[in-house]
Structures are given as structure tokens and as C-alpha cells.
Amino acid sequence: MRSETVTGDGRGPAPAAVRPAPALVIRRAPRVARVAVVFLHGGRSDSRAPSRPWHLAALRMRPFVRAVAAATAGGDDRGVPGGGGVLLAEVRYRLRGWNGTEADALRDARRALTELAALAGDVPVVLVGHSMGGRAALGAAAAPAVRAVLALAPWCPPGEPVDHLRGKDVVVVHGDRDRITDPGASAAFARRARAAGARASTVPMPGGDHAMLRRGGDWHRLVSSTVVTLLATGDAGAEEPGAAGPGGNPGTGPGTR
């Protein structure tokens, strides 16, 4: 591997350009991808620390990936290994934070979609994002390939753009015990998106917290069933889950998104 280059005047080494790591991490790659589901985990409102796969926000998304993998296994093409043409992937952030106008998570989401198109072509995409990842997913839905967004306890500041969601399916799920992001702001965002022409709906999770640990099984089942519906029909509707399961821990801490 080359670790240095030579300057144009030949006087000595110059720092080599550092290429960022790929933004797209493939979790299941079918032989022929027909559709893709891309997951975006949470982060922090402001942090320039590197994002790592062992951070809690990233680890929390793994059960959702497994649930959707199980729900989409086989499909209508059981001869194709890896879920009947459903590609599953996650976005790898460079940094932990959104970081104001830099919108680093959104930049990484857009990079991941570009990489996905290079890998699989122009396949329809469903984005599943939690917290900061929900905000990034909703913003990245401007890409023509994105068919739908499933936003889990998303961070929806006032004035977030919605016009680009026209004609898209948007499902927003939020627990009423969330102390990190605002369920009311999520509902307001969905109303604005609907007025802009999106097929937007909200699904309450009574007793649900920000980390999605309370009623965790209900969160997993709701996400997997909603993704299957979105993949099959583009229908953004989702039913409220059933009885509450065992309680869990509260959110993941101040400043976490």
C-alpha cells in the first residue's frame, strides 16, 4: 500500500489523500438484487468523534436487521440465496454527530445510496432509520430510488424539508416515553409531509422509550412487518402493536440522537 506521494516539484513526500471508508456495509447480498433495505442508526447532535460499529447506537440496529432478514428470507424466488432478491445493508457514518449545517450523517447516507446504485443498479430502496438516522433517512429520501422511509423515534427539528417526500411512503413510529426526541415533533413532521403530498402515517408505541428497549419485541415485529408491506405494495400503513412486553431501560443518554 502506498503511504506517501511525491510533490510535483520532486522535493519530497507530500501527505497522501485519505479516502473515506465505504459508507455502505452489506449485510445480505442476493445473487440478483431486486430491492434494497438500508438501515441507519442513531448518533449525537454534535460530535466529531469517529463512529464505530461497537457503539451502542449501532449495535441497537442489529436486531432490526436480523428481524427484517428473517421476514424477507426466501420471498418469491427461493432459488436465489440471500432473501429472494432483497439486499440488506447499513450506513457507516464517518462521525458520531450530525454537526449542524454539516449534516454529516445525511452526507454519509447519500454516499451510501450512490454506492448502492453502483453495486446493484437502480433498485427500489426502503430506508429504516432510528433517531439521528431517522433524520438522515428522511433527508436522503430525495433520491429517486428511495421508495419509502420507516423512521423510528426520529429527530425532527422544526422546519425540516418535506417537499422532496411527495409521492413517497413515510411511516413514523415513536414511543410516548421517549425523553430524547419528541413524539409531538414527529407527528408534526408527518402532518407536514402529508400536506406536501407524501403518503405519511404515524404509529404510536405506547410505553416505548427512545432506545426501543421497552417493548423491544414489539418494535422488532412492527419494523419487520412494515418493511415487508412497503416492499410488497408501497403501502405506508402500519397497525399499532399489541400488548406491551417486558420493560427495558430508558434512553441512551443526553445529547444522543
The domain limits of the chain are 19-233
Mean pLDDT, the chain, rounded, equals 85
CATH 3.40.640.10 corresponds to the domain 19-233: no
72-126 pLDDT, tens digit each: 987 544 333 345 799 999 999 999 999 999 999 999 999 999 999 999 999 999 9
How do residues 33-81 score in pLDDT, each as one tens digit? 999 999 999 999 999 999 999 999 999 999 999 999 999 987 544 333 3
Of 14-23, 54-63, 116-125, 197-206, the least confident: 14-23
CA atoms within 13 A on the CB side of 21: 11
Cell numbers 447480498: residue: 29
pTM given for the model: 0.83
Q: Which residue has the cell 438501515?
A: 39
